[in-house]
Chain A
């Protein structure tokens, strides 16, 4: 409960800044309209106008909220919660490629990390490539992945998930390499005195020791995965997904639609990262590592 007050304070400050920003950014358009109509706007009329334009430069929070309600709750009430105009539908599309990409990225990342820790050649050769892969702007490589995979007959969910995977495996590799190497020399010597096999050392020492590192990485990977999924939706012709909503919104200057998709994406990320946090808490508690 003690954290409620600081959080609320920050939220209030954000809202004040947001409304003020809406006035500042949208006032010009309101003034232009008034001038063309030959009327003089009072201050209250000006403010009211900046908070209720159709295509504002910066939509006010209540406009975004209304748009989100219109495309989620209201559609559910009409029994069309999963139609193509519903944000639930688009969120689901983004969610499915995010999750698939996240799972693929986690498997790839853990696999590479095990290779790097256990194989000197891989340690020397793979790590530089892993780092190099992340220096390439994903926005440049995403269309190529889509096109190349399409040419070999793979389309739909998988290419988008691949882009998610491309972004999400990296934090997992880095975190897991550190985690698998976290046991002290003494603990490894101890395993040696018991004549433990390499696989026993892995399952009984290295893997459990890496768990706190893994979960931290998974949280970053999930957020990166969502970014990947959204970027992956852009070159597919903006058919479906939160990325598609962002793109069509920007085509038609529908700023309110862009912002509501953004808020939805942020909510999705918060929920997914929160879920990992929950699994982390439960796992570490059962392992006795959360004190």
Chain B
């Protein structure tokens, strides 16, 4: 564990007790995430990628192994509001405006009115939603709602962003656009991002590291360091380097499935 390690999991296991016997959602998972990394977790359903992310967020409690976030336990990190979490659905409160929704975590954390206003304005610009502060969620499209939920996760300036298939429910065109924006945002803010996805192109396009996982029991089968540069226009997806990484991810997924 170096000084730059932000998230460190060691032999992490999580077993759910169900009526059909124990389910090994995670088994002996070890991984270090370095500051400023963009790490994608990819794998078929049931491979534990979301569970792993939830362990980082202290939303699940591992039954074995250790996990530290910012050098402390996941629970302490959660209490210190070390991360912003973006769920699969935007989950905006229908009775609050977009601005009100972004203000919500700030209110909870007790920041002052002027500080709230400044932050709301800043993150709305960051996700390209300036001018929508006083709209209600139902007045926005699905993609815009998801952007608002990312703005909400950014509002309190945590260094870590945990994203659980944030664009899974959106169509391809909107998704491409949001991927591009997310990369720009990551570049500008220097945050550490952990990103769960089903999509190989999305994972390869976004990440500096790709973690391939496989199910039963949930485990890591491959960790790929991307050779792609930080600057990534959308058409990088047609370059041989990109296709090579995508191929390796696909191979990894197939190997995990074959057993």
Q: A interface vs B, CB < 8 Å?
A: 184, 186-187, 189-196, 200, 204-205, 208-209, 211, 287-289, 291
Determine if B87 and A194 form an interchain contact, defined as CB atoms under 8 angstroms apart: no
Which residues from chain A contact B109 at a C-beta distance below 8 Å? 194-195
Q: How far, in whole Å, are A134 and B78 apart by their CA atoms in the complex?
A: 45
Which residues from chain A contact B78 at a C-beta distance below 8 Å? 192-193, 195
> Which chain B residue lies CB-closest to A184?
B91
Determine if A186 and B91 form an interchain contact, defined as CB atoms under 8 angstroms apart: yes
> Which chain A residue lies CB-closest to B85?
A193
Partner of A289, one of B58, B83, B95: B95
Determine if A190 and B108 form an interchain contact, defined as CB atoms under 8 angstroms apart: no
Which residues from chain B contact A200 at a C-beta distance below 8 Å? 108
Which of A190, A196, A204, A208 neighbours the largest number of chain B CB atoms within 10 Å of its CB? A190
For chain B, residues 72 to 110, give those with C-beta under 8 angstroms from any C-beta of chain A.
78-79, 81, 83-85, 87-89, 91, 93-97, 104-105, 107-109
Q: How far, in whole Å, are A184 and B88 apart by their CA atoms in the complex?
A: 13
B57 within 8 Å of A (CB atoms): yes
Partner of A204, one of B58, B59, B85, B104: B104
Determine if B59 and A287 form an interchain contact, defined as CB atoms under 8 angstroms apart: no
Determine if A288 and B107 form an interchain contact, defined as CB atoms under 8 angstroms apart: no
B186 within 8 Å of A (CB atoms): no
Which residues from chain B contact A192 at a C-beta distance below 8 Å? 58-59, 78
Which residues from chain A contact B136 at a C-beta distance below 8 Å? 288
Per DSSP, chain A at the interface is helix
The verdict on A186 contacting B89 (CB below 8 Å), with A193-B59, A195-B79, A288-B95 known, is: yes
**Closest-CB distance, B206 to chain A (whole angstroms):** 21
Determine if B93 and A208 form an interchain contact, defined as CB atoms under 8 angstroms apart: yes
**Closest-CB distance, B93 to chain A (whole angstroms):** 7
> Which chain A residue lies CB-closest to B83?
A193
Which residues from chain A contact B16 at a C-beta distance below 8 Å? none
> Which chain A residue lies CB-closest to B162?
A193
> Could you list 15 examples of A-B contacts with CB < 8 Å?
A187-B91, A189-B59, A192-B78, A193-B57, A193-B59, A193-B83, A193-B85, A194-B81, A194-B156, A195-B81, A204-B104, A209-B95, A287-B95, A288-B136, A289-B94
Which residues from chain B contact A193 at a C-beta distance below 8 Å? 57, 59, 78, 83-85
Q: How far, in whole Å, are A94 and B169 apart by their CA atoms in the complex?
A: 55
The verdict on A204 contacting B87 (CB below 8 Å), with A194-B81, A287-B95, A288-B96 known, is: no
**Closest-CB distance, B121 to chain A (whole angstroms):** 20
Other A-B pairs, 7, CB within 8 Å; known A193-B84, A204-B108: A190-B91, A193-B57, A193-B78, A196-B108, A204-B104, A209-B95, A288-B136
Which residues from chain B contact A184 at a C-beta distance below 8 Å? 91
Which residues from chain A contact B94 at a C-beta distance below 8 Å? 288-289
Q: How far, in whole Å, are A187 and B101 apart by their CA atoms in the complex?
A: 12
Determine if B87 and A190 form an interchain contact, defined as CB atoms under 8 angstroms apart: yes
Q: How far, in whole Å, are A89 and B156 apart by their CA atoms in the complex?
A: 60
> Which chain B residue lies CB-closest to A191?
B108
The verdict on A291 contacting B138 (CB below 8 Å), with A194-B81, A195-B78 known, is: yes
